Structure 1
Amino acid sequence: MRDAIAILASSSITLPPNSTPSPATTTPSNQQSLSPASKSKSKKFSGRKQSLKSTAALLHSTVRWNTSPSRQVHRLKDYAELASDLAEDGRFSDLLMIAESVVVSGAKPSQFLAMLNLKSVSAGISRMLEDGKLERLIEVLSGLLKLGFPVVKLFDGVAFESLRQECLRRFQNCVQPEEIVSLMETLQGLGFSPNQLLASSQVIKLCVKRRSPGAAIRYAQLFPQMETLLCTVMIEFGKKRDLVSALNVFEVSKRSQGSPNTYAYRTIIDVCGLCGDSMKSRSIYEELLSCKFTPNIYVFNSLMNVNANDLSFTLRIYKQMQRFGVTADLASYNILLKSCCLAAKVELALDIYRQTKYLESTGDLKLDVFTYSTMIKVLADARMWKMALEIKEDMLSAGVTPNAITWLSLISACANAGLAEQSIRLFEEMLQAGCEPNSQCCNILLHACVEARQYDRAFRLFRSWKENGIQPVSTDFKLKTHNIISADCSRDGFSALSDSPVTSEVQYHTKRLSFAPTTATYNILMKACGTNYRRAKALMDEMKTEGLSPNRISWSILMDIYGGLGNVKGALQILRSMHQAGIQPDVVTYTTAIKACVEHKHLEVAFSLLSEMRRYQIKPNMVTYDTLLRARSQYGSLHQVQQCLAIYRDMRKAGYKPNDYYLKHLIEEWCEGVIQNRTQNKGQFTPIDDTADSGPQSLLLDKVAEHLKVGNVESLSIDLRGLSRIEARIVVLAVLRMIKEKYSTGNMVEDDLWIITEGISGAGTSKNSSGITELITKLLENDLGLEVLSAGSRESSNIESDSELLSVSSTEIKEVLKQSDLPLKLDSPSRRPAVLLRLKVTKASLHSWLQRKGVSVSE
């Protein structure tokens, strides 16, 4: 190769006037350090490089080369060879200087690039990347790109792999996803595909993990399949329960297209399901409809699936789908069955199943394992095990192979019915079919034994599985199978021990499978201990030895065993031990403790546990309320009645519908104690046969609760409107008993007692009102010896201004009527003025009755 000085000297260079060297080309390059391996080679070209530096400015300022084309090509080769050597030494600044000079001098970038030694250049790139100088490399590559060089072509396979590894290293050490996204944007600008450098799923998961939807959106915009990637981002945010970020991505997806993207709408609806916000999915669906766009079958199915827990809405969407002319597919019917399963609507599920069977017979559908399994689950939950087995036969006839979920539902159906033998038979069929059971399936089998009170069998199964693995447990089944195999083999002329297909199947059937007990396994066995608390405690200790942690259910079962033995103190100690162990008791735990207290007549402790639940913000459930309401067989004091009535009203406010019949009769018995003598047996009274006109029991109990509120004794009034005769009697007696007990504690009666028997529209009276008036008058005068005066009538317009008449405000009356589901007619502007029929019990007669020795309050 000729010396660069000779080349430049032999050429005629024409400089423009007043030309000055470029600062970029006069910067010394000897400040960059050479690697030890290339020092000898560097010396070889040091003279050329120094000469090149001194003349580079002239070359950079040259407008044209005044040489022949062949001479120019020869010169380009020399510069390309020098540039390649400089790049191999890592001197990419010099490479950029030469390239810039060559391009300015008139040479084409592609021509110069073709003359470079790409192997040397790629080696230099790899060396820079290994030294962590990615930013410097990007700076040089950006300069070359501006000159028109396709920089991607400077990378061979080795250099590209080095770049990929450097990106991966930076990704692994990245804290802010914006950094890696910015790097990908830069490299894409240089011509590299981001997906080839890093897997898109990795970058998206990093953005989701760092809760950075903006970075995820920027990254997705680097790809032509941006819409698909945005949907992937939404799904990933949904898996993290981050609906807000997913909705931000969805808004970007909507703006990027002119018309609605049904795939994006379907995805965000699915995300709403993952985040548990079904109401948001409905608003998104309505937004799609507002765009005058007809959803496809996938959008409808996603919407129904997300709202499967609301059967009425799911059916409404299904009918809407039919109105839009969208044909339901198998997924649609499966979702409907799932919704019926969640709502426990067996008959509707059977109707849908029959419809799908008909469509299968016409060739429009082909039922899958999910259809059959869901239908079996519906019947299993309803304890309809015979029909569940019939569905299994339909499934096998259709050529559909049951999966683990199918077998689990079938075994559960029989287990819930307490059919241990049938459950075990299905379990063995499952093994023979080659379907390996999981721990949940084994737990259900143990539960079947417990439900059938075969406790010893449950323990034998557990010990056998734990020591020997899972294998057939029915001797009859094994003997029957062996006889069938022997008969078949003898008929065909083979030995029973030959390696026939049937024998192989049985060998697989008898193969032992590993068994790993869970906390639920030990909980089931603890239930099988009955009242043997020592055995239950030993199981809990064994659970800990196996590396399992007892949960709330474990502690509740142990507490229930103590309660069944009458050891209330021990049960309460378990509750305290849970708190000390850092395990927060739940509603089941507290209800178990309350049950133990109630069964052994520690009623005040039971009510204190209810107060403790409220302090810990644990909401009682239906069982808790029902246990407390049935705590007493009779009431002895006003305080006890007020306690139970408060629980009753809390129960109704919580949305539960209690059976009022039991509580009503206890209140009735307590009220009748006012007119019974000491010689009478408690509870022996003859209530009026008033079944013909009895009103809602909830209204009666609300009235009693309202009149027995603390403080009502100072302002005496009783409102009997809306009650039947027997209910009116009970309310009056309840108030009188309250007055009696308050008087015994020193609270004197300060006013007359007013009783509103009925409010009649207009001036007339009704048969019911006159019957109540006559009944109450007879009760007060004949049975209790009180003085009763008829106060005449008064229009309703004066009610609220008469504090002597009403102690219950109109707002409270409205609330009582609202809770009792009766029509609300108060303060109606179109209502005619009502006439109130009132009775007055004088204060003097009340004092006389209270002081009378012959009248006592039943204990």
Structure 2
Amino acid sequence: MVRPSSLKLPNKFLRKHRKWPLSPYKTKWHRNLNQQQAMQALKQAAERTTSAPPQENPSKHQQHHLLSTLIHSFNTYNCHPTPSAYHLVIKTLATTSQFHHIPPVLDHLEQVEKFETPECVFAELIGIYGNADKLREAVELFYGIPKFRCVPSVYSLNSLLSVLCGRSEGLRMVPQVLVKSQRMNIRVEESTFRILIGALCKIRRVGYAIELMNCVINDGYDIDVRICSLILSSLCEQNDMPSDAVMGFVKIMGKQGFSPGMIDYSTLIRFLVKKGKGVQALDILNTMKVEGIKPDIVCYTMVLHGVITEGHYERADEFGELSRMRVLLKEMGQKGVESNFRTYRIMLEGLVSKGEIIEASVLLEEMLERRFCTSRCATVDEVVLGLCQRGFTCKAVELVQKLVDKNVAPGAMAWEALLLSSGSKLTFSETILTGLVKVEPQTIAPI
């Protein structure tokens, strides 16, 4: 019979020789902790290096101080260095202008470490080399990225191209870099073309920039608004550039889906006025209004100057009146005088009477937004008719749609104008126009 007390006695032999399995989670936790402690020691050394005054003749030990600290710190905590540790060392050396200390760090990273080095380390160092005017070092680093167990991509290529394209010396290296990047199996992207086109525009090789952009479009890339704006700005900066060439570029890009913005229109107006094409600049101003872009006072002033310079005083008088009207409205608002339906209606009728249909359509949309147009009037029909007669049928359809959405019924004259012009010029779906005509009578305000 076994005594109960014997069951409670510990087995010292088993306790001494038993081997418990080591938890992998505990090992990973300890490793991370050790790496954090080693990294903290390295950061403290980097801070001391950054704050220390520069020495004229540093000793060999001081030259490799940070690299030695990196190795010693991680050995002390019995862990392997991390990519972040090398990144910190390289950034610190670059910040303190110790570029001649960077190659030993890279050599150690290449020959000793086994991890895959993140590409961001090299992309950032390429930019640092570029800012320090070390273009050769930047190119050599880019070529050597695969040696660090890293697959280079368009990310590092764009970093290098941005550096090279910023200097005339670097521009001469670009063709060789592009050829080499193909051998490195790097596929260029739209962002790469943007950098190259920007460089071509900067050195006034706009023709080559346009050819390159056409290649981009032919390769199936979507048109880039920033690229188009950059080329348009470069074209307008050329003193010997004919206005027909610039307008032709805008027309072609418009077919590709390019919609100029406020800055693009301002650039174009300034160019046309400079070329003595004030009336053409006035057309551009009207196009802005059709596109829903409100010109600022600078655009108005430039166009007014251009029209007067060409001797079109009658057009200038009408255009000065429009500008004063806008200024008057602004002053009324600043003085606390709120505009009402009667104010806008007087302005609308004045614009239509002078044939300023584009300006009238913009004002009418503003009235709709402010709910100042709650019922149909003959002036509204005249605006729709005027848009159709000037070839802006699509704009007329959009305006009618907005009128219907705001519970305002266009008259028979407006519908007739739309139907007559829709045969050859309407680009919207016919179902849209049909739907507008068949709006239920009870949903429209009474005439």
TM-score by length of 2: 0.46
When normalised by structure 1's length, the TM-score is 0.27
**The structure with more helix, counted as a fraction of residues:** 2
Largest Rg, 1 or 2: 1
